[in-house]
Structure 1
């Protein structure tokens, strides 16, 4: 409980008693804590040692190298935000289906290395075929023809 009491804030108001005699107030100059030293004071800045100089130089170099990268990152974030605000029609449903396919891919690709090699391209291809059916048909035809030609070249007589 003592630690939890430190989290609470209390407002304390003090007022003089009604029947107490008035007291003379003390001026700020009379308090030793607030006395101003006689004469003028000067601030003297110490010279930097070599360690401080090297740390300062390193910090300035790091800042000058990271500043353009941070600015480009901020600009990329602003551009991405603007792109999401003005998304083309059908973008978010496609993003949802693609994300769902990736989630299923992660769940099913556990286990053997063959699953890890086969499922990701398969689900990516499946998701892409939903959005681009004409291009998928053309790709399948071209790939099928190339596989057929490759198989005939391997099995033709006179080849090693």
Structure 2
């Protein structure tokens, strides 16, 4: 016996035809609104997809720091208090100048932190020194190029291209 011969599997014979209903005015207006809003929504989706990993990373950083502070190593909070107090002392010494207020507190805090964490302070000082040297060298090269382009005299015998 074939499947078609079983009464349970019989398929009624008939022609069915799909007829699409015409769009109403409301559907047409919504379609136009969606068409006009599409660039803005795609822009928002792009911004969201770009910022979501950063926000997730920041949230995870906060959770990690919270967990660290909940299970801090012994002596961490007294050290933190001394470092914070050093920053406050720097703020007291910085009276009268905005530049001093920007420089003294981080300097004093760094000094206080270097007492408790000397190895990390050496590493940070070495990396900062290398970066400052690199920035200074880049600045020197830029100023030298600007000097050569703008302040050399065309009739100068020493700097003329034929004498090199």
TM-score, normalised relative to structure 2: 0.46
Kindly indicate which of the two structures has a greater share of residues assigned to helix.
2
Q: Which structure has the larger Rg?
A: 1
